Amino acid sequence: MAIQWNEEALALSDLCIDLRRKLHRHPELSSKEEATVALIDQFLKDQGIRTQVVEHGGVLGWIEGGKPGRTVLLRADIDALPIEEEAANGGGLPKSCVSEVKGVQHACGHDGHTAMLLTAAKLLQAHREDLEGTVLLCFERGEEATMNIYHIMKALEKAGIHPDSVFGLHVSPHTPAGTLQIQAGPLMAGMFSFHVRLQGRGGHGSRPDLCINPIDCYAAIGQALAALRMRTVSPFEPLTISTGLVQSGTKSNILPDTCLFKGTVRFYNREVGLAFQAKLRHVVEHIAEAYDCTAHFEKLNAPGFPLNNDAAYAKTAAEVCRELLGEATVMEAEPWMGTDSFPLYLQRMPGVYAFLGMRNEARGITADVHTSRHDLDESVLWKGAAAHAACAEAFLKQPRPQDWKPNPLDLDTLFEQAGYLFPEGRD
């Protein structure tokens, strides 16, 4: 008899909500998730699940199926953001719970991600004898800032564990609550950052002819970068460039010595990102030279990996979730130009990242992620738990596509070439 993951997950809805609220009230920043790690580890142990706390990395848990077979990895991220939370959500309504830690908030749904996977772990452990293979639970530290995924992947590598597939979920404030967005191909962007300091020569505002004003230089660079995307990138290739910080000067009548500007470029095609980065450097350096300034790149990391879902596993996940939650519940996702660490798992194993809709205008749940008014519709979290469990069961039965090949680079080179910072504790 088929396991009724939807019915059993719904029965655990209150547990899932309780877990989410505990996590939400006590958020911890990237690389500081000690209490969160302890909660996760203890919960899994209470279910009879073998665990490993990976130093700097997070928590791993093993659910050994009653029959031999493949290994599927289920992932959730656990860190919070340095944001002072508001008690009201996007619609101005009171939230179900609010952070008790000043200046720290789960504003990207990681509290929900963790609660859903813990609930799924309880479901899967209860049915472990029916599973064909091993479910590997992964609770990842530092996704928002410090890339602690390195330690998770290193721990798996040292243990000789090579999962056959991977599945993950992220909440979405843009789509109706309870819907699942699943699709093959590009889902989230790769990215690189640029931090540039322009060096000029300051002086009094009455004699700009005796100065080299780096603000004038930045104005020219800003115009050129805005046009660069249109001139050099096909309109059929998604790529965005944005400048989020410009700092220069102290008074209206004093011309500054320096101007600092920072921004990001996001893309779905990494080769396009690499080519655009080279053009960006060229433009900045040559315009600076034309304005008699010096351009120093304080940061220009290599382009990261876009998130591309495997077609075969995406098809399986969509079919499983339609059967589980109803035909109308599953739809194709609208690609998101945000970034995530999940593409690094996809360099080693095929899999799927999906979105669980959270938007509920009647409850005021409309605010975007990384904002002080971000909120979750807790009533649909059980659907994410059910999706985790059902996809795990299905992926264990599905072989890797014959044409799928892992990225051949060793782990350190993989991180370096993708421009990722190495977190605390790297050898």
| pLDDT tens track for 67-97 | 999 999 999 999 999 999 999 999 999 999 9
Residues of each domain in the chain carrying CATH 3.40.630.10 = 5-188+306-417
β-bridge mates for residue 246, sequence order: 261
The number of beta carbons lying within 10 Å of the beta carbon of residue 242 is: 12
Handedness of CA 410, 413, 417, 421 (dihedral sign): positive
Q: Is 263 helix (H, G, I), strand (E, B) or coil?
A: strand
Backbone angles phi, psi at 61, to 5 degrees: -135, 145
Whole-number pLDDT of residue 145: 86
Contacts of 144 (CB under 8 A, 6+ apart): 29, 30, 77, 79, 80, 81, 108, 110
Strands 132-140 and 58-64: antiparallel
pLDDT digits (tens, 9 = 90+) for 138-157: 999 999 988 899 999 999 99
Tell me which CATH code domain 5-188+306-417 carries: 3.40.630.10
Residue type, position 356, single letter? L
Amino acid occupying residue 124: L
Q: What is the pLDDT of residue 418?
A: 78
Distance, C-alpha 161 to centroid of its chain? 23
Q: Is 150 helix (H, G, I), strand (E, B) or coil?
A: helix
Domain 190-300 has CATH 3.20.20.10: no
pLDDT in the model for residue 334: 76
| Residues of the chain where predicted confidence (pLDDT) is lower than 70 | 1, 421-427
Write out the residue limits of the CATH 3.30.70.360 domain(s) in the chain: 190-300
Say how many C-beta atoms besides its own lie within 10 A of residue 288's C-beta: 22
The pLDDT value recorded for residue 283 is 97
Looking at residue 425, its pLDDT comes to 54
